[in-house]
A and B are shown apart, each in its own frame.
Chain A
Amino acid sequence: MSEHVDSVRTYASVWLILLALTAATTAVAYVDLGAFSVVVALTIAVIKMLLVALFFMHVRHSTQLTRLVVVGGLLWLGILLTFTLADVWTRGLIGTPGR
């Protein structure tokens, strides 16, 4: 993984983009986007996460196994969230038999 030594410029560019995105997400929060607000906020957060992971954590130079591990972890968090929300969001949708 450390066979690739990235340049300081690469890291600095990523850093500046991250700072810009932080400013952007803060500014956008003051705009009324309704339900779309959370989509924008999470999208920016995911982009920031990808930048940190790919460049600072060297995932873009990493082995397939490392990437599988990362994807797996995120997928499992997704399972926890999705299946639980599938309950919370459908309560009362189908009535309980007999009631």
Chain B
Amino acid sequence: MITAAAQERETYLNASYGIKSWLLTKDHKRIALLYLFTVTLFFFIGGAFATLIRIELLTPQGGLVSSETYNKLFTMHGVTMIFFFLIPSIPATLGNFFLPMMIGARDLAFPRINLLSWYLLVIGGLFALFAMLAGGVDTGWTFYTPYSTTYSNTWVIATAIGIFVAGFSSILTGLNFVVTVHRMRAPGMTWFRMPLFVWAHYATALIQILGTPVLAVTLLLVFCERVFHIGIFDPALGGDPVLFQHLFWFYSHPAVYIMVLPAMGVVNELVSTFSRKPIFGYSFVAFSSLAIAVLGFLVWGHHLFVSTQSVYAGMVFSFLSYFVAIPSAIKVFNWTATLYKGSISFATPMLYAFGFIGLFTVGGLTGLFVASLGLDVHVTDTYFVVAHFHYIMVGGAIMGYLGGLHYWWPKITGRMYPELWARLSALVIFLGFNLTFFPQFILGYLGMPRRYHTYPDEFQVLHVLSTAGASVLAVGYLMPMVYFIWSLRYGQVAGANPWGATGLEWQTASPPPVHNFDEMPVVTHEAYDYTTVLGEVEVG
């Protein structure tokens, strides 16, 4: 798959051949592609589970699968999508590829640890896949005790091991990014000259480092409880199931910021490039990423509102949960201000950025609804919550991911994707997404519980709409698979900077050479400095 332009020139793609050169690579760009392949695979596995769920929910009495099987479907959908797709997605693909380039480095600080991270994700994924194929796990991705530790007869341990191992993949990636940003910036690349994509990934890395180990030890305790019956979460032996929930959500709430912060980082780049303006309020956006990372650790109890968590603690967590919305809102305001009087182009990446801003705002605002202790008592464990987090994870994070993939595709592969088909699929995804998930807000508000596959007849219309939307969404997701692969051979050959973007990654060839730059850059200008960038925006 050598691009025409790169045939005469050595790039990271053609510098060496053979499977060993990929499986034993230390090149962050190749590792990014290994991750791309892996997370895409898991995305479609998770999507397959989602398809089965939506088909089952077409009729009020289910019928396609038993209740026990349905429990396994939503569990495995959640586990796959969260731990094996969303958490790694942007950081391990776009982050791995571009963070070093954006700061003018040759590679990450620890390339071999980077490769180890990928292998850990694969090994963890194999454990999880084994669990799924051997009979599945039915505890919900949240593994609440004592069901997961005492009563479930499914492959809890295998799944827990898979997530444990994948967790270390995440921790090591975070470690690598933090050290890289601190120690590997090129001369002149000060903190406040870095692209905001880097700030976002730095903040994400902090969360990965501080939160994931707690998940790891929690899964270890679940393992011990299940195998040795130590009693730590078992009320019969004096244990406290809510202790599990505290330990679990201490990670899993910040985890949602691991999933969305990188997408926000991508959106910074897209909004700037396609308005041809520096991001408004650069330092506010930079600090808001850090604020989200910090505040995100102080709110986990809002997942425990209807547990035996004390009302006092619930009130504190509810209060703090409102604060964490503020830095996110700051970002949305700054993106909007960036657009104002910008020279806006509606290339596909920008369509995804707009989609992100709108849908993330809806998701974020509904987050405020559920942050309210009083209201959450009514909508918790209903489809309202399901819709809230899908607006952020799918409407937000996945759109950010797709926007980033499209934006950087020419840099990664040296080829342009077909713009018309790409815009069409963005539209299909947007429409499919809203048709799938907006009815779920209404369903939840009306009382439809989550994780149930039978429901009163009057909810059927909304469920049918949702499933119809899911079909459209599925088509929308399959389209990029087709045209991205098509573009590798037939796509228009891309130059170094097809978008006229700022950023060091656009000042090297497409695809880049093995060591990223022929000569290490010395940075003399601020981020998003369009006065120094020549070139036209190539929009198909």
Does residue B310 face the partner (Cβ distance < 8 Å to A)? yes
CB distance from B292 to the nearest CB of A (A): 15
Indicate if the CB atoms of A83 and B312 lie closer than 8 Å. no
CB distance from A35 to the nearest CB of B (A): 22
Indicate if the CB atoms of B312 and A93 lie closer than 8 Å. yes
Name the residue of chain B whose CB is nearest to the CB of A89: B310
Residue-wise, chain B 15-31 has the 8 Å CB interface mask toward A (1 for contact) of 00000000000000000
Q: Which residues of A contact B182 (CB under 8 A)?
A: 65
Indicate if the CB atoms of A87 and B298 lie closer than 8 Å. no
CB distance from B311 to the nearest CB of A (A): 4
Does residue B520 face the partner (Cβ distance < 8 Å to A)? no
Which of A73, A80, A94 is the one whose CB lies under 8 Å from B310? Answer: A94
Q: Which residues of B contact A93 (CB under 8 A)?
A: 310-312
Q: Which residues of A contact B297 (CB under 8 A)?
A: 76, 79
**Complex Cα–Cα for A94 and B300 (A):** 20
Name the residue of chain B whose CB is nearest to the CB of A76: B210
Which of B242, B298, B311 is the one whose CB lies under 8 Å from A94? Answer: B311
Does residue B7 face the partner (Cβ distance < 8 Å to A)? no
Does residue B301 face the partner (Cβ distance < 8 Å to A)? yes
Indicate if the CB atoms of B313 and A80 lie closer than 8 Å. no
Name the residue of chain B whose CB is nearest to the CB of A92: B310
Size of the chain A interface, CB-CB below 8 angstroms: 19
**Complex Cα–Cα for A14 and B87 (A):** 44
| Highest count of chain B CB atoms <10 Å: which of A80, A87, A92 | A87
Which of B210, B214, B246 is the one whose CB lies under 8 Å from A87? Answer: B246
Name the residue of chain A whose CB is nearest to the CB of B211: A76
Q: Which residues of B contact A76 (CB under 8 A)?
A: 210, 297
Q: Which residues of B contact A13 (CB under 8 A)?
A: none
**Complex Cα–Cα for A65 and B304 (A):** 35
Residue-wise, chain B 310-338 has the 8 Å CB interface mask toward A (1 for contact) of 11110011000000000000000000000
Q: Which residues of B contact A79 (CB under 8 A)?
A: 297-298
Residue-wise, chain A 77-99 has the 8 Å CB interface mask toward B (1 for contact) of 00110011011101111111100
Given contacts A79-B298, A80-B250, contact A86 B311 (CB under 8 A): no
Does residue B308 face the partner (Cβ distance < 8 Å to A)? yes
**Complex Cα–Cα for A91 and B246 (A):** 14
Indicate if the CB atoms of B311 and A95 lie closer than 8 Å. yes
Indicate if the CB atoms of B312 and A96 lie closer than 8 Å. no
Given contacts A65-B182, A76-B210, contact A83 B310 (CB under 8 A): no
Indicate if the CB atoms of B310 and A90 lie closer than 8 Å. yes
Indicate if the CB atoms of B312 and A86 lie closer than 8 Å. yes
Q: Which residues of A contact B312 (CB under 8 A)?
A: 86-87, 90, 93-94
**Complex Cα–Cα for A91 and B250 (A):** 19
Given contacts A79-B298, A84-B246, contact A90 B214 (CB under 8 A): no
Interface residues of A in 22-59 (CB under 8 A from B): none
Indicate if the CB atoms of B301 and A83 lie closer than 8 Å. yes
Does residue B309 face the partner (Cβ distance < 8 Å to A)? yes
**Complex Cα–Cα for A92 and B316 (A):** 15
Interface residues of B in 294-309 (CB under 8 A from A): 297-298, 300-301, 304, 308-309
**Complex Cα–Cα for A76 and B243 (A):** 18
CB distance from B158 to the nearest CB of A (A): 27
Q: Which residues of B contact A72 (CB under 8 A)?
A: 210
**Complex Cα–Cα for A95 and B315 (A):** 12
Q: Which residues of A contact B311 (CB under 8 A)?
A: 90, 93-97
Q: Which residues of A contact B214 (CB under 8 A)?
A: 80
Indicate if the CB atoms of A91 and B298 lie closer than 8 Å. no
Given contacts A76-B297, A79-B297, A79-B298, contact A87 B309 (CB under 8 A): yes
Residue-wise, chain B 234-258 has the 8 Å CB interface mask toward A (1 for contact) of 0000000011001000100000000
**Complex Cα–Cα for A87 and B300 (A):** 12
**Complex Cα–Cα for A92 and B516 (A):** 60
Indicate if the CB atoms of A86 and B210 lie closer than 8 Å. no
Indicate if the CB atoms of B309 and A83 lie closer than 8 Å. no
**Complex Cα–Cα for A65 and B242 (A):** 36
Indicate if the CB atoms of B210 and A83 lie closer than 8 Å. no
Q: Which residues of A contact B250 (CB under 8 A)?
A: 80, 84
Q: Which residues of A contact B246 (CB under 8 A)?
A: 84, 87
**Complex Cα–Cα for A91 and B314 (A):** 10
| Highest count of chain B CB atoms <10 Å: which of A72, A80, A92, A96 | A80
Q: Which residues of B contact A84 (CB under 8 A)?
A: 243, 246, 250
Q: Which residues of A contact B309 (CB under 8 A)?
A: 87, 91
Name the residue of chain B whose CB is nearest to the CB of A98: B377
Name the residue of chain A whose CB is nearest to the CB of B317: A83
**Complex Cα–Cα for A92 and B308 (A):** 9
Residue-wise, chain B 367-411 has the 8 Å CB interface mask toward A (1 for contact) of 000000000000000000000000000000000000000000000
Given contacts A65-B182, A80-B214, A91-B308, contact A86 B313 (CB under 8 A): yes
CB distance from B346 to the nearest CB of A (A): 42
13 extra A-B contacts, CB within 8 A, seeds A73-B210, A80-B250, A86-B310: A83-B298, A83-B301, A83-B317, A84-B243, A84-B250, A86-B312, A86-B316, A87-B310, A87-B313, A88-B310, A90-B310, A93-B310, A95-B311
User: What are 9 A-B pairs with beta-carbon distances under 8 A?
Assistant: A65-B182, A79-B297, A79-B298, A80-B250, A83-B317, A87-B310, A91-B309, A93-B312, A94-B312
- Residue numbers of A with Cβ under 8 A of B are 65, 72-73, 76, 79-80, 83-84, 86-88, 90-97
- Residue numbers of B with Cβ under 8 A of A are 182, 210, 214, 242-243, 246, 250, 297-298, 300-301, 304, 308-313, 316-317
The 9 closest A-B pairs by CB, nearest first: A87-B313, A90-B312, A90-B310, A91-B310, A94-B311, A84-B246, A76-B210, A87-B309, A86-B313
